[in-house]
Amino acid sequence: MIIELKDLKLCARNPLEFYCKKTLGIYLPEKEEKEEKEFLISPLQRSFFRKSSSPEALLAVAANRGRLPTGSFKDVASLKIKEEERERRQMYQEWQIKPEEKFAIEMRDHPIEGVGTFSGVIEELSPKGLIVHAADKLPDLIRIWPLFLVVLASGKADSLLLAKDGKIKQAPKEDPKKLLVDYLTYMQWALEELSPLMPNWAASLLRGTKAEFESKVEEQEDDDETLKWLRHRSPPLSPRELFDAWAEKLRAHFAPFLRWEEGQ
């Protein structure tokens, strides 16, 4: 079986959406495209700007093609992108990385011995490690954890460069291949049953109480179309039942991740 990196990343970013798409075959509509165009730049668009070698040139092209928000929001979006670019260049200087040193690798049916075969593209690699738009915080780290394990297990880098706060995290002490196999086991669980390991819920699920977890679910409902659908289907998603079914199992399974996240 070939493991697609895009599926691995989706499982980590939004296991609810992963289950709906891959198991139920349900593809819910995203937020209205018109609203997105008028008021903000989508996360995907911002990702393109960050990965571009010349974000300002790409910004000009996007503006000419009408791909930026309209009205005063266009100026806000442009300032945001330029500020992010300035901070990114400053971070590269601190890490002693030249923009032209960044590279990507394409894993085309690429075997990792003892783990499996992977397919997809890993971007934002550098001589110093994998660069990610993330901070040294649990929600960000659990989102990029499986991709970092693929990078480690394939020998492409041994450090994680966190662009949001400039920190560098080294590889976990455990064997990355074993950790990746463990994550693939979790991914299989998430195909069979609806997993609640959403990045913004992870701290309460892996360390907190049932009440804290329920509160986190309530906070996010209006921001996630998949969650909204699951909460209003019949039978509705129950945060209490999810916590009871998953918390203990996930705390044991992700113990190595929690030690790494804490710097142990």
In this structure, of 38-42, 46-50, 184-188, 197-201, the range with the lowest mean pLDDT score is 38-42
**Among 211, 206, 214, residue whose Cα is nearest residue 253:** 206
Decide if pLDDT at 114 tops 80: yes
Q: Distance between CA 208 and CA 66 in Å, rounded?
A: 45
Give the HSE-up count for residue 138: Cα atoms under 13 Å, Cβ half-sphere: 18
pLDDT attached to residue 33: 43
pLDDT attached to residue 200: 96
Question: At 61, is the pLDDT very low, low, confident or very high (cuts 50, 70, 90)?
Answer: low
**Among 114, 182, 110, 180, residue whose Cα is nearest residue 148:** 180
Looking only at the bridges linking them, the beta strands covering 103-112 and 116-126 are antiparallel
Question: At 28, is the pLDDT very low, low, confident or very high (cuts 50, 70, 90)?
Answer: confident
In this structure, of 52-56, 77-81, 155-159, 260-264, the range with the lowest mean pLDDT score is 52-56
Secondary structure string (H, E, C) spanning the chain: CEEEHHHHHHHHHCHHHHHHHHHHCCCCCCCCHHHHHHHCCCHHHHHHHHHCCCHHHHHHHHHHCCCCCCCHHHHHHHHHHHHHHHHHHHHHHHHCCCHHHCEEEEEEEEEECCCEEEEEEEEEEECCEEEECCCCCHHHHHHHHHHHHHHHHCCCCCEEEECCCCCEEECCCCCHHHHHHHHHHHHHHHHHCCCCCCHHHHHHHHCCCHHHHHHHHHHHHHHCHHHHHHHHCCCCCCHHHHHHHHHHHHHHHCHHHHHHHCCC
What is the pTM assigned to this prediction? Answer: 0.84
Bigger pLDDT: 63 vs 3: 3
pLDDT attached to residue 116: 96
Decide if pLDDT at 186 tops 70: yes
pLDDT, mean of residues 99-117: 93
Summarised one tens digit per residue, pLDDT across range 229-263 is 998 887 888 999 999 999 999 999 999 999 999 99
Q: Distance between CA 190 and CA 199 in Å, rounded?
A: 14
The pLDDT mean for the chain works out to: 86
Q: Distance between CA 219 and CA 199 in Å, rounded?
A: 13
pLDDT attached to residue 1: 83
Q: Distance between CA 50 and CA 61 in Å, rounded?
A: 15
pLDDT attached to residue 38: 38
Domain boundaries, the chain: 31-95, 180-261
pLDDT, mean of residues 171-182: 97
